[in-house]
Structure 1
Amino acid sequence: MMSRRFKLGTFFGIALFIHWSFFLMPALVAYSEWSNGGRWIDVLLTLGFVVLLFACVILHEYGHVLAARAFGVGTRDITMLPIGGVARLERMPEEPWQELIVAVAGPAVNVLIAATLGIGIVAFYGFNLDADGESNMFAHRLFAVNIALIVFNMIPAFPMDGGRVFRSVASMFTNHRRATWLAMRLGQVIAIALFALGISNLSNLPFLPFIAAFIFWVGMMEYRQVDIASQVKDLRVRDAMLRQFCVAPIDSSIADFAERAADQLQRTFPVVEHGLYRGVLQLEQIATAMQTANGQQQTVGEIARWDSITVDEDAPLEEVLVGMPRDATQIPVLDTTNKVVGLLDTDSCLRRVALRSGRSHNPAAPASIDYYSPPGDER
């Protein structure tokens, strides 16, 4: 979802991106205004209002991330989407009351904005809602939108702010995994209701079905991450890595190594030189090179990839499984001397987690995974 985005800048040490789909909203709004007979000035004023609206949303997201920073939680980045902002925290606060504060910090920013606008409106225009002037119209609309943002975000539809408040309170009475499951289910029920409302009133609420689908899908994905984390809690990469694996010598010819690779179950082969890690060779690269005579004569080092992902054997397994890109399925595991000591098959780990979860339908049940280690292995 975040693959095509443009960097707007870095504020408070946190990168702010705009997803390409973000531009669909102002384009649709401008077209709607123009098609309804609006003048160019009306179109420009409407676009200006959209910019102010998303400025409020950006401030909302920075409210979350700055509150999280106060509890020692970093933020990878913030991405603006047509339906709002997504702040990617490195992790959630450990204590439920901390998550509660982080969740309400965003709407609190909108409360502050609305209060400031309200005071300004009363100071300049009094209580006359019919006062003329573009500035008055902008102020009233922006005030109303911030109130709407507060109300909408506090709907207990996980992963929205209200849903996170619900989870944080539930976590005070049960474990984090079950609290997330309860919040996800409640959020899905609300998402279905919002979707039905949007479909039945599509002309007035064109974005509501998309927001509802986003709530349903993201809530489910976040529960999956929490489920994975609970299954592998306190485990390190070395506890789950494959200890029997094949490496590719950097000076070996593709033709020679292909014979050896054909007998392996691996798709990724760590490339080594003098026993130390240098890169990776994918099975697809070998198959492509073997199709030509020149390719067969190439060495492993000539076609290996040098910018591949690796993990430390002491890294927490939870962080690796949750944060690793989907296409990184077999990852070389290195020790402190840059020697390859294992291969982490993330697909296999995730399947074992899913199998374990499938056997236990009670999200309150304690989670654990047994990883086989060879007899006598003391590492």
Structure 2
Amino acid sequence: MPTRLNGLETLHGADLLPYRVRHRRSIGYGRISAYRLNPYFLCSESDLPESLLNYRLKLGTYAGIPLFVHWSFSLAVIYVSLQVMHAGPQQMLFSIAQLFGVFLCVTLHEYGHAMAARMYGISTADITLLPIGGVARLKKMPRIPWQEFIVAIAGPAVNIVIAILLAITLAILVDPALLRAIGTYAMVLQEPMTDETRDMLLDLFNQPSWTGYGVLLLIVNLVLVAFNMIPAFPMDGGRVFRAVLAMSINYRTATRIASRVGVVIAVLMGFFAIQSDPPLLFPLFIAAFIAYSGLGEARQVDLMESVSGLTVGQVMLRDTSAFSMDLNISELQRRWQSIPLTSVPVVSIAGTVVGVLSLRDLTTQIESGVDPSTTAGEMVDHRKSFGPVRAEQALQEAIAQVGKHHRQIPVVDESGALVGTLDLDTMIQRSAIQISSDAPANNDPATTHFDQRS
């Protein structure tokens, strides 16, 4: 299904898996794919929540991309097991194998996005499997429309290839009568479903067999493609729609149009989900997700476009307040009383920035009864700290790199010396001031007098 980043600009994918639900004699599927942008935070375009990053098991590195599975994936295995427990251990193992097969398709879908992005010099930090699907974290998104089109469509293209290979294999190996029954079930053949056809399908889907396994994966991949290509931004289909629009209009306007179309589709989806009897909670969740994340990304694009062409140095606070890494808690308490910042750089004896200490972290340490002799350097959490950024660095690039735990980031010059602070909360206002100052000067004496004083 990116924003604060841990060095990443966009999170492509949150592909909700196509899942199989057994209710006696019925089979259901559902799935969504999208790039997810966190809503309107003045940060980089996408990182996973810390709870996802901290509780993952690495499955290996494939094609140079680390593959992780989140601990909550075990919940999906438990759920599937409980659903078919009454059918015996053989059926349980078969259903779990089906689940793994579905997730293999989702993983390949994410690798499709990642490999397409690699063609344009964009690397992927990792891919994470969740109970609801997969997430590929790209370090940035291509801004050239046709490149975004290729990256967005690459995931569904992988599912099309898988479906074609499965269809060819089934056509060669499966009894023609069973193929006709499958065609009837898939509504490809406009024939009434006879009792014999229904019995064949029930045996196919409810009894462990390679044919049933292949047919399930075929249906899953077709559903992945069909649902994923709905033009509901920020799903893959919505991104394709945005890329096509951006070929003839500017990127910001294209994003706004795509996000609004996505909201309309999400509202319709939510309406039908509520009108169902009983109401369908999962499609309702998907609809809310599409609307929320689509509008969030549109606002994120507005932000990034509004600071285009500016550098960090042009909008930073020219405040060089810093704490020496050997200051203890008592000294930190005293000195912070005269500093208006909520996050302060911690520097070494040589003057280099070694991290950032937030007021919240300090108060947490004090409340926990930490040793009063603990120093600023010892309290810096390097997993949460990020920075510094360079004064000459493009502001868009800096926003795409900042961490999610600090709103104020140290700024250094070419020599590494601290020269200011990038305040994310006042950055937009400061960028507006900078743009205004770049406009042709007028002859208003009051204005001239102010500029001279500054």
| Same-fold status (TM-score > 0.5) | yes
Residue of structure 1 equivalent to 2:359: 283
Residue of structure 1 equivalent to 2:446: none
Residue of structure 1 equivalent to 2:147: 98
- Write the deviation string for residues 267-314 of structure 1: whole angstroms up to 9, x where unpaired: 222233243334434334555778899966665556555663112313
Matching residue's letter, 1:100: F
Residue of structure 2 equivalent to 1:360: none
Q: TM-score, length-normalised on structure 1? A: 0.83
The answer to whether the 8 Å contact 2:343/2:359 transfers is yes
Matching residue's letter, 1:95: I
Change in Cα spacing, 1:123 to 1:320, as seen in structure 2 (3 Å) is: same
Q: 1:245 aligns with which of 311, 314, 320?
A: 320
**Shift, 1:209, TM fit:** 2.3
- Which SS does the other structure have where 1:111 is aligned? helix
Q: 1:331 aligns with which of 409, 412, 428?
A: 409
- 1:345 paired to 2:394: no
- Larger deviation: 209-218 or 338-347? 209-218
Distance of 2:381 and 2:437 partners within structure 1: 30
The answer to whether the 8 Å contact 1:64/1:102 transfers is yes
Matching residue's letter, 2:121: G
Matching residue's letter, 1:170: L
Residue of structure 2 equivalent to 1:361: none
The answer to whether the 8 Å contact 2:316/2:427 transfers is no
The answer to whether the 8 Å contact 1:240/1:371 transfers is no
Distance of 1:51 and 1:210 partners within structure 2: 24
Matching residue's letter, 2:389: D
- Write the deviation string for residues 105-158 of structure 1: whole angstroms up to 9, x where unpaired: 111111111110111011111533257671111111211111111101111111
The answer to whether the 8 Å contact 1:255/1:290 transfers is no
Residue of structure 1 equivalent to 2:15: none
Residue of structure 2 equivalent to 1:224: 299
The answer to whether the 8 Å contact 2:328/2:374 transfers is yes
- Write the deviation string for residues 66-111 of structure 1: whole angstroms up to 9, x where unpaired: 0111111222222223332222222211211111111111111111
Residue of structure 2 equivalent to 1:109: 158
Matching residue's letter, 1:112: V
Q: 2:344 aligns with which of 266, 269, 279?
A: 269
Higher relative contact order (CA 8 A, sep 6+): 2
- Larger deviation: 242-251 or 287-296? 287-296
**Shift, 1:202, TM fit:** 7.1
Distance of 1:344 and 1:165 partners within structure 2: 34
The answer to whether the 8 Å contact 1:289/1:296 transfers is no
Change in Cα spacing, 1:16 to 1:203, as seen in structure 2 (3 Å) is: farther
- Which SS does the other structure have where 1:63 is aligned? helix
Change in Cα spacing, 1:134 to 1:334, as seen in structure 2 (3 Å) is: same
Q: What is the 5 A alignment of 1:175-186?
A: 175-186=250-261
Distance of 2:265 and 2:170 partners within structure 1: 35
Change in Cα spacing, 1:286 to 1:350, as seen in structure 2 (3 Å) is: same
- Which SS does the other structure have where 1:79 is aligned? strand
Q: TM-score, length-normalised on structure 2? A: 0.70
Residue of structure 2 equivalent to 1:29: 80
The answer to whether the 8 Å contact 1:231/1:369 transfers is no
Distance of 2:339 and 2:403 partners within structure 1: 24
The answer to whether the 8 Å contact 2:355/2:387 transfers is no
- 1:82 paired to 2:138: no
**Shift, 1:235, TM fit:** 2.0
- Which SS does the other structure have where 2:239 is aligned? helix
Matching residue's letter, 2:299: R
Residue of structure 2 equivalent to 1:309: 386
Distance of 1:108 and 1:285 partners within structure 2: 46
Change in Cα spacing, 1:110 to 1:337, as seen in structure 2 (3 Å) is: same
Give 5+ residue unaligned stretches, structure 1: 357-367
Residue of structure 1 equivalent to 2:191: none
- Which SS does the other structure have where 2:414 is aligned? coil
Distance of 1:135 and 1:177 partners within structure 2: 49
Distance of 2:152 and 2:364 partners within structure 1: 50
Distance of 2:369 and 2:166 partners within structure 1: 73
- Which SS does the other structure have where 2:177 is aligned? coil
- Write the deviation string for residues 152-174 of structure 1: whole angstroms up to 9, x where unpaired: 11111111111111101111121
Matching residue's letter, 1:18: V
The answer to whether the 8 Å contact 2:402/2:409 transfers is no
Give 5+ residue unaligned stretches, structure 2: 1-47, 182-199, 439-449
**Shift, 1:326, TM fit:** 2.5
Q: 1:188 aligns with which of 257, 260, 263?
A: 263
- Write the deviation string for residues 252-275 of structure 1: whole angstroms up to 9, x where unpaired: 565455444212211222233243
Change in Cα spacing, 1:341 to 1:16, as seen in structure 2 (3 Å) is: same
Residue of structure 2 equivalent to 1:236: 311
Distance of 2:131 and 2:364 partners within structure 1: 41
- Which SS does the other structure have where 1:235 is aligned? coil
Distance of 1:293 and 1:198 partners within structure 2: 51
Percent identity reads 40
Distance of 2:258 and 2:412 partners within structure 1: 38
Change in Cα spacing, 1:204 to 1:78, as seen in structure 2 (3 Å) is: farther
Q: 1:11 aligns with which of 56, 62, 68?
A: 62
Matching residue's letter, 1:346: L
Distance of 2:345 and 2:174 partners within structure 1: 70
- Which SS does the other structure have where 1:226 is aligned? helix
